[in-house]
Amino acid sequence: MKIKTIFLLLVFASAVLLNSCSDQNTITGVNNSISPPASSFDGNYAIIWMDVAYRIIADQNPAPPPPSRFYSYCCVAIYECVLHGMPMHYSLSGQLNEMPVMPMIDPDKIYDWPSVIAGAMPIVMRGSIDTLYIPSVSLINTTYNTVYQERVIAVGQEVTDRSIAYGQAIGRKISDWASTDRFRETRTMRYVTPPRSQNPANWVPCNPGDSACEPYWGTLRPFVLRSPRDIPFESNVPFSTESNSEFYKEADELVEVSHHLTIEDKQIANYWNDKQHTGTPSGHWISIINQVAPQIGLRLDRLAEVYAMEGIAIHDAFIYCWYNKYKYNLLRPETYIQDYINSNWYPYILTPAFPEYPSGHSVLSGAVSEVMTSMLGNVSFTDRTHTYIGFSPRHFNSFNDAANEAGFSRLYGGIHFRAAIVRGLDIGRVVGRYIMERVHLKYSP
């Protein structure tokens, strides 16, 4: 009895010490909840909601940056919803910039983690997107009702309703936090594209009717980075129109590649284009995890961890990338090649309406692949993200292989110089490592 008492005192002291050392008392400490652990639940209870998120974006066809924000807040919400079902895990509040302290459970009552998620996600989804179309609202409501009815049968009305209410409290906290990240302010900020008459290297839109896409995205509040300036990023290859310059040679490479595109090259360019009727580039990586999770048997606790880190990587990678795009403001290959090499040249895919350097696909894919590899290792998988719009599945031996293909798809598409891709992948992986070093999900003695 005496030994047991000493042991309990030590456990209590350790929990107090951990809480006192963490920012804003963010560790859950010993699991004193009487609820079933999150590990006892199938990961599908999280996947269904991230699939809803993907389908919402696919129905709206927005520009790439806003979906990254939408997915990321959803990912953070899922983690916080199941936090108290994961012993000795830290909350992300106190770790992510300005994230408030999350609501607490009553440790003497039972909570159902799938119901908690169902309570939070409709609120977070409504609070982190500009507009929800009627089909999207119906999809959210249908998913909620399906989960609710199933969980009432599984755990009873009282536990389900208590859990839903707790999830709603988390959802409101995260939605309020999202409302302060400068997204709303940037909706009305005016941007004037610097003309090439000032600098021939300046970016200008390539297509009629295009205007600068999200020029102030780099000013949004990151999750982990204090500022995009935290990680220095080297400038591009020096601009030059001389035929023996490195810049000219990179442009000439694109012309040469465009003249010899294979069927496989075109398939890769189209597959990773992630435009109409898709979840956009960030959603493609969400879809990959949605597929990998059941393949390797991730339970709800482990999948919540993976979504949290993936969401953080997506969020900060986009802010970091867009900050540097408009900082360097480099013209696209289409503009350069038509002006200095071949006036009749056009890329294989449509040039997007934002600057060249660095490649968004590359920074995003580098960051996410770095985080996913760190968490899950080198997983071999078949990606079926776009089969519903007629693309064949593509197989990858690792997340890094997929990231490299995503990056170089932009070379085949003719819309990025090599340096924007190679350096983008490299700096994306630096961003991923930066996040992994600073975000701690679980206490390790």
Domain boundaries, the chain: 23-183, 192-438
Check whether the bond before 232 is cis (ω within 30° of 0): no
Residue 31 has pLDDT above 90, yes or no: no
Mean pLDDT of 8-31: 42
In the prediction, which pLDDT does 61 show? 85
DSSP code of residue 230: G
Q: Is the distance from CB of 368 to CB of 403 less than 8 angstroms?
A: yes
406 pLDDT band, cuts 50/70/90, is very high
Q: How confident is the model at residue 445 (pLDDT cuts 50, 70, 90)?
A: confident
Q: Which residue would you say has higher pLDDT here, 21 or 127? A: 127
Query: Residue 11 and residue 87: Cα distance in Å, rounded?
Result: 13
SS3 128: coil
Of 105, 61, 70, the closest CA to residue 85 belongs to 105
Asked if the model's pLDDT at residue 15 lies above 50, the reply is no
**What is the rounded average pLDDT of the residues 84-95?**
96
Distance CA 250, CA 223 (A): 34
pLDDT above 90 for 375: yes
Higher per-residue confidence, 108 vs 444: 108
**What was the pLDDT predicted at 7?**
37
Q: What is the spatial distance between Cα 278 and Cα 317, in angstroms, rounded to a whole number?
A: 20
Give pLDDT, residue 23: 44
Q: What is the pLDDT of residues 150-209, one digit of tens each?
A: 999 999 999 999 999 999 999 999 999 999 999 999 999 999 999 999 999 999 999 999
- CATH number for the segment(s) 192-438: 1.10.606.20
Share of the chain above pLDDT 70, in %: 93
At 237-246, the pLDDT tens digits run: 999 999 999 9
How many DSSP H helices and E strands does the chain contain? 15, 2
Q: Which helix (H) or strand (E) holds 382?
A: strand 381-383
Q: Residues 377-391: pLDDT tens digits?
A: 999 999 999 999 999
Q: Report which of 302, 312, 371 is spatially closest to residue 89, judged by C-alpha positions.
A: 302
What is the rounded average pLDDT of the residues 300-310?
98
What confidence category does residue 249 fall into, taking pLDDT thresholds of 50, 70 and 90?
A: very high
By CB neighbour count within 10 A (0-12 exposed, 13-18 middle, 19+ buried), where does 315 fall?
buried
pLDDT for the residue numbered 444: 82
pLDDT of residue 27: 59
CATH code for the structural domain at 23-183: 1.10.606.20
